[in-house]
Structure formats: C-alpha cells, structure tokens
Structure 1
Amino acid sequence: MNDTVLEENDAGLILAAEECPSDKFEGYHSFSQFDDVIIRKLSAHGPVLLRGGRGSGKSALLIESHRRMRASGSAFSIYMSLRYLPLLQSDGPEYIGHFCSLMSRAIADELSAQGQSVEFDFAEDEIALQMSLAKLARALDKRIVILFDDAAHIGREKPLEVFFDLFRTLSSNATSCKASIYPGVTKFGVRFDVFNDSTVIDISRSDVSGGDRYFSDVIKTRYPALANREIFSDRLTPDTFASLLGRAVVGNMRAFILACNRFDGKTRVSIPDVNACMLNMAEDYYWPLMEEVAPKLGVYEPLVEPAIAIFEAIVDHLCRPLRQSGRAIAQDRVTIHRSLVSQFSKVFEILEYLGFTAKREASRGMKSGGRGPVYAVNLCSLLEQVPTKRLTIEMIDEWIEGKPDLAEIHSSAATFGSIALPTLAPDNKLGILAKDVQVLAKSKAYPYGLTEDKIARLKGEGINTIQELAETADTRLLQIDMVGPATVKRMRDVMLQAIWM
C-alpha cells in the first residue's frame, strides 16, 4: 500500500491547528503579546473558558499553552480534543463513560510521551476519575492542567450540560480545567454558573487598527513578501493592507490567512487587487460557509435560511444610505436593539460563530431609545452590496479607523419584520453524518476536501456516508489499495473538520 503525495498547501488542513503536525506547529503559528496574556491564564491555576468563533484561534492557543507547560515542566498538562463521535451521539451516563475512557487514554498517552514512569488508574466514572487525578497529582508533585478542545458543538447542546458538570467536578486545588467554547453557549446546566465557576476569556481580536500591529506581525511572520513596501501601490502600505484584511474578516484568523493566501507570490498589490480579493471572499468563502454549516447544526439546521435573511437585511440596512441619502461610505457597524437580538438569539449566534458578524460591545445606548449590542459586519459581504462594488482609499481609512458613528436597528423597525423563525424538531441528529462521502470532495464549501480518487476508493469498499467513514477502523482503511497512514490521517482530519466545523 502506497500513499499518494498530499498537498502541503491545503488551506483547510493547514489552518486547523488540531491537525497541524507537531513538528510544523511552531512554523505555522506565532503569538502576540495579547495571545501571551491568554496563554498565561490558560497555564495558571483555576478553571477557564476560552470563547471564540470558528477559526478564531482557540485550538492554537490551547496547544501552545500545552507546549509551553510541557517545555517548562511547571505543570503536568494534557491537551485533549473532544472531537469524538460517540460524545456527540450520547448523553447522561453513556456520555460520562465515553468521556472518562477518552480522558484516561489521553492522560496515559501524555505520561508515556513525557517519559513518566507513573501509571494512571483507568476511570469509568467521574468519581473514579476525580480520585485518579488527585492520586496522579500527588505522585507527580505537580499541578494538573487539562485543556479540553472542541468541548462545544453548535449543533448539539444537550450533552454540554453533562460536560460542564464534569468540568466543575474535576476542577480542584490540584487540577485546573480549561475548555474552548463558541459564542452563545446557553445550556451550561443547573450546577454550573459560568461566571462563578470559571473565568471566561473572549478571544476576539480587535478588527480596527488603533495602533495595534497584530495583523502586520502575522503577515511578517507567515508572508514576509507581503511586508515589503515595494510591492504595494503608492496609496497602499503593508500596515494598511494588513489592518484592512483584519478588519474585513472581523478579526477572524482563519479567514485572514485564507485572504492572505490570495496574494501569496504576487509581485504587485494595489487597491483594485484588494477589492477583487474581498469580493471573491464574499462569493467563495462566506456564502459557502452557510452551505457547509447547515447539515452540522442538528436541531438548528432550519435556522440557516433565517440567518441568511437577517444578515442580508443588516447589510441592506447599512448600504441603504448610499442609495437614498447620498452617503459616500457604508457604516460597517450596527447597534441592534436587544429585544430583536433576544428574539433571534440563536440566529445571531450562528452568524457570529461563522464570522459573518462579530459582537464588539455587549450593550450600548441607542439614539432611538433602548439599548443593544454592537455588531461589526465583515467588509467582504458589505462591499459586495455597495452600489459601485468599488473600494476607495476613503473607505479604507474610515473602516480601519473604526469611527464611533454607528448605524442602528431599533425595536420597531421593519428590518426583520418579514423574517419568521421555523419550529424546531425535538431531535438533535446531525444531518452531516448521513451525507454521502462525496460532500468531502474539494469544493468552495470544502476547500480542504478529498480527491475524487480517494472518494472512489472509499465507495469501492462500501463506505458511502460520513457516519460509515467515522465508524470504520483505521486497520480496514489501510487495507484499501493506495491508502497508507498519511492518507488515513487525511481522511480522518477532513471528516472531523466536516463534523466539527
């Protein structure tokens, strides 16, 4: 069995920190002073929840925290991905059993990787796990830090109540639990008080410059050619370019890297080039996200259509003054009355999770009366609806500066008047599991997808759906002609990204 050569520049896989090979992690990731503060909090004592949207860098921060603790020996840390299908398909005692088994194996593997001679007692329930952790801490004479990645899945909230009960139970003087969650997790359970039982850190990076050179530093590290002033036109500097792209994707790191990839190797970059990049991102990144996420939302899948409608209504509201009152530049942030946000709460969570919008303030007074959160809108979708579709230096300056003048959608406005929410089904099944493996092919929705050859080989073995692929053992996959360990890992990585966003 031979492996075919896998594409190293696969945007989806490179950008998923969970699948980045350990020997390449440092080369692909750099961390700012802002990131270092978060990493220190993840390494310190006490429970922490790291909150951020899709591709915001949660996994990278957890992995880097683990790397630094392992290097310093300050604590015994375990990085544990909860991308495990049985956890999505179970609840109650069954979930606890899978969780304890998964965690016991992760701790044993980490002890082995660090060359520790201490054995960890395998646990089948939370009490046994708690006792085993206490015993391990005494044997090592170290604090234990457990970093749970992908603890939350936007399409399946019910098991989260069980997870947060476990999170609270396992946290002690000797054991610190940390977990990544997405914006809008609502079902923490009755025993878990999110603000008293943990410290919540929002990973959201500023999407306006304000003197912050974060995005410029990322470009210098990962795309040094794009930090060269000589390749930019007279009215565009490397810092302006970096700040604009950072603002265009509302600070989302995965989208930022994908945008930068479009300029890699260019010898000349002008404002029309950035204009084309932003319009292309709207067409082949943002809108395909909706297509990709729909079957992963479980009970919330019917909310995709209202999410599209609400986002289009927001963008139309921001662009209307350009058509009606002669305003030159579209406002890029909007205060939405809290009653509307409450009415469409899960829809706003979906938009924020996917990076269509980003909450910038939890509450602000409105000129029209009342209060509401402030949302920044990605500039790619905004520019797409600007009548001229033409980016100007004046737009760039205003959008980067982040002027305080905000649009407003008040409670009595008709902006969302025609949008109705569907009745949600009681089950939590994820539609993605029943999808044909063909959906994993490379496409706008799945840029990290499998080749047609690999899909044909899977189907030739009777593996037709994503669920069947998930339940097929590696040993069976390795028996397929022209499929070796690297290809199996690729299949697993793509499958997990398909299920977990």
Structure 2
Amino acid sequence: MNNIDNFETDSGLILAAEECPPAEFEKYHSFSSHDEVIIRKLSAHGPVLIRGGRGSGKSALLIEASRRMKTSTSVLPVYVSLRYLPLLQSDGQEYIEHFCVLLSQAIQKELGERGSNQDFPTAVDEGSLQFGLTTLAQSLGMRIVLLFDDAAHIGREKPLEVFFDMFRTLSSNLTSCKASIYPGVTKFGVRFDVFNDSTVIDISRSDVSTSPDFFPDVIRARYPRLAERSKFSDRLGPSEFANLLGRSVVGNLRGFILACNRFDNKDKIGIPDVQQCMLDMASDYFWPLMEEVAPKLGIYEALVEPARDVMEAIVEHATKSVKSSHRTIAYDRVLIHRQIVSQYLKIFEILEYLGFVAKREASRALKSGGRGPIYAINLCSLLESTPSRRLTSEMMDEWLQGNGEAAELYVASAIFQHIKLPKLPDENGLAILNKEIKLLGRSSAYPYGLTEPIIQRLRAAGMTTVGELANATDAELDRIDYIGRAKIKVIRDVVFQAIWM
C-alpha cells in the first residue's frame, strides 16, 4: 500500500452526501421538519421515489433514513449507490446481472456490519435475487428496505426501463424499495406506472419563508463561525444571511455550500459582501455549470445552448419592469403557461436540475387565462441582470418573504420565439467519458477538482481520459507514487461527480 498521503477532509469541499465520511455525516448534515417527514416515508413500508435537482439533498435523505433504520431490530436497511460505470454502459440482461451482483454485495456487507451469520448468495438474475430477498426477510424476521441512490441518470435513459421494472418486481410485503431520481427522468417503461407503483416526493427548499430555520441550522452545523452575530454588520443577521444564500440558489444545497465557502476568510460580512457573492456565483459557477454538465447529458447535450437562451429570456422578462422603472424590485418568480412549458419541457427539467429555477407550484391561474406552474428564479442570475446589480435591504425582505407577485408568461408570449430546439441525436453514450482528465482539474466549474500534480501523475501512468480513470482499479491507482488510500477516495469522488452530475 502506498501510504504517502497528507490529505485531510475539507468540509467545504464535501459536496455530495455519498462522499462524506460516515463518522462525520451527522456533524455536517441538518434536517428540517419537512425532511423528517420524508425520512419517515423512506423508512416506512411501500415504494417511494424522491425527486430533486443536482445537489438538492436526495442522497443525504436516503443515507439518513438508512442510518436511523440500522438501530431497528425489525428492519434491515440496505443503501446502494448505483454510481457504477458498468450499469451506465449496459442495458437489458447485462444491466440486470450487474445490478443483481451490486445489490447482493451491498446486502452481504450490511449483514457483515451487523455481525449476522445469515448468508446471502450472490444473485445474477432477477428470479434468484427476488427469492434470496424473500428467504432473507423470513429468516431474519425483518422487513428489508432497499434504498437506491443515483438510480436514474438524466443523460442515459436506455437502462432506466430495466431499473424500474426491477424496482417494481422487488417491491413486496417483505421488501420496500426507495430510489432517488432527477426531475428530467421520464422513461419509466411500460410496466411501471410512476404514480400508481410508487409515492413520488419532490424535494424543494426554494421557499425559505416556509422553513426559516433550515439553512441557519446548516450554517450552524457546517460553518459555526458564520452563525455568530458578531461576524455581521448591523443590517444583516446570521439567519438572514443563511436564508438569503439558500433562496439565491433556489434551495440547492450544493450551490449553498459553494456560496458559504466564499465567506471563509472574511472577518466582517455585510450586504455588499453577499451582493458580490451572488454576482460571482452567477458568473463563475452557474453559467459555467452548463458547460460542465453538457457532456454528461447524453442525447440532451444539444439542449444546453437552448437552455441557456431560455434562462436568459426568463431573467430578462423578470427584470424588464425594473429596467423600465415600473418596479424597484425584480420579480423573483415566474408563472408560465402550461403550453409553453410543454413545448420546452426538457429544457425546464434541465434548468431545474441545474438549480437555475425550482418549481414552486404545479398549477396556478394566469391573469390572462389558462394555468401553469410557478418557478422560483435563481437570485444570482436575477441580480446579475438588474440595471444597478445592487442588493438592497428592501430586495432582501421581499425575496425572503416570498409573498410578492410573480411575472407571467402567457400563452401568446413571444419571448421564446427565437429559440429553436435542435433534433436530438441517437443514443451514443456519454461524451464525458471521452474527455481528457485535465477537465477534472480545479476550476470554477470543478471547485472540487483534482490538483495539477495528481493529474500529471495520472497521465504519466497512462490514464488520459475520464473513462480510463473511471475504469482504473484501486490497485492500479495505488501503484502511482504519492497516491495513497485517501487520495484514491478523492479521485473516485471527483470522477463520480464528473460522470454522475
């Protein structure tokens, strides 16, 4: 084992719950009363799908539910991360075989950690897996809860029908299946009825007025210095600061953590500092995020540029009244006629997935007639487009209260008229796998990326593309000088982030 490694966990760069050391999970994660309801549903009987955008907290909820069930004597929880490259690259019977082996190994690991003498054979097909689960549940006298994380990849839809068929098949009175999915996932197959065969829970934390304690609690747990009143100016308190950052990124926890990281070295924080953070997040995080995610979207990579155009049009519409001096504060939400949303459905799913918008309501009446969903707009992008680009106390109050009017896009609106949707290509895998590993270096798009010395060592060892690095074994990585166990985990985490969003 190559033990030369000086790595220490940086809490600011733990961007995914799966990457948080188990011993520190409780320290860095906080759950609201609404989250508690979701966790109870994940622990209860019956199939559940939790749906949310990139970095919205789906994995944290699944892991927390699993942690709590581990203390029960009537339930055997099995958490399975499906961040497994062969699953992403296979379909049909090959996918089923990989899936069965992966789940079998996770069950064996859980039984081992419990000190159980119960054996679980490695299944290679659907029938033997189902029989093994039934036998195990009966032998233990326990209900089994399977929690599948990263189950549905927005850019690789072909194997999803196989997964949801398995999800439906494995669900029984002895086995409960739970899974996390993205907003853009729509391919559930012919046998799986998403609303009849499961309970769907949408995760949204964009409305901080309904959960005013959530983001302050996260700050206290993860950045205790930013919870001290003495750190802030007279016009800005720690709770306002936390909720404003949370609302600015439409409740996206990963965006929230990256925003908080920008205040690590500040002795005093005022409204101008938050304003600069929001403007910087817009220019060097959110817009570059589209470029980062594009090669992971498979056939939907072609929709990234139209998505950028749609977002720019939404922001322009929301700030138009400020630019014409009819209002002093830009609309922070937009009500869009359902026919427009239907026409650009995948675009809106991508924008919601990336944290540019968040759906607040599924249907509300427009003044001009018809109905449509309400989307909360990312305040970073909104502030960037206002004439003064200046954050005021009045703007903060209105945006945090969430009771102002919403801008409306009625059915005859022409603001998207210039945006043409390209024809989608045939399925041909994910472009990210063929990208050079230098793409994984630390940057605005990859703040959690690899250092240049690590990249150079990997390249010298013959790993030049993301796909080659993803397929490398731990033994191969360990043979490289100055790369030990801790850095192998860091490399794995970065590769997972790169491929699985």
Q: Using structure 1 for the length normalisation, give the TM-score.
A: 0.97
> Counterpart in 1 of 2:457?
457
> Counterpart in 2 of 1:349?
349
Cα deviation, residue 259, structure 1: 1.3
- Residues 138 and 211 of structure 1: is their aligned pair in 2 closer, same or farther, counting only changes over 3 Å? closer
Aligned partners of 2:224, 2:100: CA distance in 1, in Å? 45
Cα contact 1:183–1:352 (8 A) shared by 2: yes
Letter in 1 for 2:223: Y
How do residues 417-496 of structure 1 correspond to structure 2 at under 5 angstroms?
417-496=417-496
Cα contact 1:208–1:399 (8 A) shared by 2: no
Cα deviation, residue 224, structure 1: 2.4
> Counterpart in 2 of 1:298?
298
Letter in 2 for 1:372: G
Cα deviation, residue 404, structure 1: 4.2
Cα deviation, residue 210, structure 1: 4.2
> Counterpart in 1 of 2:120?
120
Moved more, 424-433 or 388-397: 424-433
Deviating 4+ runs (over 6 angstroms) = none
Q: What percent identity do the matched residue pairs reach?
A: 65
How many residue pairs match? The answer is 500
> Counterpart in 2 of 1:8?
9
How do residues 245-394 of structure 1 correspond to structure 2 at under 5 angstroms?
245-394=245-394
Moved more, 365-374 or 377-386: 365-374
Letter in 1 for 2:461: E
- 1:112 is paired with a residue whose SS is helix
Letter in 2 for 1:322: V
Cα deviation, residue 10, structure 1: 6.3
- Residues 265 and 85 of structure 1: is their aligned pair in 2 closer, same or farther, counting only changes over 3 Å? same
Task: Please give the per-residue CA displacement for 1:228-256, whole angstroms capped at 9, x wherever unaligned.
Answer: 22322222122222221111111111111
Cα contact 2:137–2:174 (8 A) shared by 1: yes
- 2:363 is paired with a residue whose SS is strand
Aligned partners of 1:355, 1:17: CA distance in 2, in Å? 17
Aligned partners of 2:265, 2:226: CA distance in 1, in Å? 9
Aligned partners of 1:149, 1:67: CA distance in 2, in Å? 14
Cα deviation, residue 7, structure 1: 5.0
Aligned partners of 1:462, 1:221: CA distance in 2, in Å? 41
Cα deviation, residue 3, structure 1: 3.0
Aligned partners of 1:456, 1:263: CA distance in 2, in Å? 31
How do residues 235-250 of structure 1 correspond to structure 2 at under 5 angstroms?
235-250=235-250
Cα deviation, residue 71, structure 1: 2.0
Aligned partners of 1:400, 1:19: CA distance in 2, in Å? 31
Cα deviation, residue 265, structure 1: 4.4
Cα deviation, residue 211, structure 1: 6.4
Aligned partners of 2:382, 2:254: CA distance in 1, in Å? 19
Cα contact 1:66–1:77 (8 A) shared by 2: yes
Cα deviation, residue 73, structure 1: 2.9
Aligned partners of 1:500, 1:446: CA distance in 2, in Å? 13
Aligned partners of 1:63, 1:210: CA distance in 2, in Å? 24
- 1:397 is paired with a residue whose SS is helix
Cα deviation, residue 209, structure 1: 1.9
Task: Please give the per-residue CA displacement for 1:395-423, whole angstroms capped at 9, x wherever unaligned.
Answer: 11111111241101112111000000111
Letter in 1 for 2:230: E
- Residues 10 and 456 of structure 1: is their aligned pair in 2 closer, same or farther, counting only changes over 3 Å? farther
Aligned partners of 2:469, 2:463: CA distance in 1, in Å? 6
- Structure 1: tracts of 5 or more residues without a match: none
Aligned partners of 1:242, 1:440: CA distance in 2, in Å? 30
- 1:443 is paired with a residue whose SS is coil
Cα contact 1:155–1:299 (8 A) shared by 2: yes
- Residues 209 and 277 of structure 1: is their aligned pair in 2 closer, same or farther, counting only changes over 3 Å? same
Cα deviation, residue 429, structure 1: 1.2
Task: Please give the per-residue CA displacement for 1:301-349, whole angstroms capped at 9, x wherever unaligned.
Answer: 0100000000000000111111124311100100111111111111100
Cα deviation, residue 479, structure 1: 1.2
> Counterpart in 1 of 2:234?
234
- 1:71 is paired with a residue whose SS is coil
Letter in 2 for 1:398: E
Aligned partners of 2:291, 2:407: CA distance in 1, in Å? 29
Letter in 2 for 1:496: F
Cα contact 2:48–2:178 (8 A) shared by 1: yes
Aligned partners of 1:150, 1:459: CA distance in 2, in Å? 29
Moved more, 145-154 or 246-255: 246-255
- Residues 225 and 471 of structure 1: is their aligned pair in 2 closer, same or farther, counting only changes over 3 Å? closer
Cα contact 2:32–2:211 (8 A) shared by 1: no
> Counterpart in 1 of 2:134?
134
Cα contact 2:440–2:494 (8 A) shared by 1: yes
Cα deviation, residue 486, structure 1: 1.4
Letter in 2 for 1:110: E
Task: Please give the per-residue CA displacement for 1:456-501, whole angstroms capped at 9, x wherever unaligned.
Answer: 1111111111111122221111111222111212111111110001
- 1:15 is paired with a residue whose SS is coil
Moved more, 487-496 or 202-211: 202-211
Letter in 2 for 1:3: I
Cα contact 1:156–1:428 (8 A) shared by 2: no
- Residues 483 and 225 of structure 1: is their aligned pair in 2 closer, same or farther, counting only changes over 3 Å? closer
Cα deviation, residue 287, structure 1: 1.1
